[in-house]
Amino acid sequence: MVVTTQKLIQWKQQGRSIVALTAWDYAIAQLLDAAGVDLILVGDSMSVILGYETTLPITLDEMLYHAKAVRRGVKRALIVVDLPFLTYQESLQQAMHSAGSVLKETGAQAVKLEGGYPAMVETIARLVQAGIPVMGHVGLTPQSVHQLGLRQQGKTQESAERILNEAIALEQAGVFAIVLEHIPTDLALQITQKLSIPTIGIGAGIHCDGQVLVTSDVLGLAERHPPFAKVYTNLRDTITQAVQDYALEVRERKFPS
């Protein structure tokens, strides 16, 4: 069964949780897809595997390159691609070109844009009208790191109301789902109950319609990971040990045997 945007909305209505992870290459994408992940996000969080400190340096060309590789490894999951910083904020024309390039060149089914302020809502509405499926993203928006930091958002009544109103506005603009990042659990519950589209949480508690994590965090590949992530295995140590064992055997002329 191929996952579609309509299927995600149907799953929300049925109370079926949505499983999402990030991917950046063919090998990881193939494994995630075979393991039954519903949604694969080609996120600008790939900055961690490219050696950047934040998501800001990622370019559209880099996203397109990695999204093509991911697409080749996926048969079932829905693929959503982040639009990088300053590839959609300047104008509607720029956003349309960037989003259109993703769908035309990579074969991905949707794009994700950060923010729910009025100008962004208008841009998303126009993209949806043009036939481009869009996922929203509110709460902590990493592309605004120098403005927001990496702190939990929505902790005050005023900021919580703003995030709730942004989520409602994004649904009205036509997004098929929305990421809620690093917000209080009770706020995520309120938004999830208010919307008819799925909410995908990351550091937003158990009440969202689905969950997403950065795969390098899940696999223990990152040097550091956010407090809301869970490390399910430690591939960093496993890989290091395997390479050290290989190096030792080569130096001792035990490999090849």
Tokens 């990351």 correspond to 202
Closest CA relative to residue 138, chosen from 122, 162, 108, 173: 162
Among 90, 161, 181, 223, the active-site one is 181
On whether 104 is known to bind a ligand per the annotation, the reply is no
CB 138 within 8 A of CB 166: yes
On whether 112 is known to bind a ligand per the annotation, the reply is yes
On whether 209 is known to bind a ligand per the annotation, the reply is no
Cα separation of the two ends of the chain: 45
Q: Establish whether 53 is a catalytic residue.
A: no
For residue 134, how many C-alpha atoms fall within 13 Å in the half-sphere facing its CB? 32
On whether 12 is known to bind a ligand per the annotation, the reply is no
- CB burial string 217-247: b at 16+ within 10 A, e below: bbbbbbeebeeebebeeebeeeeeeeeeeee
On whether 25 is known to bind a ligand per the annotation, the reply is no
Give 220's contacts (C-beta < 8 A, 6+ positions apart): 231, 232, 233, 234, 235, 236, 237
- Residues forming the annotated binding site for 3-methyl-2-oxobutanoate? 44-45, 82, 112
Active-site positions?
181
Binding residues for Mg(2+): 44, 82, 114
Q: Which residues are annotated as a binding site?
A: 44-45, 82, 112, 114
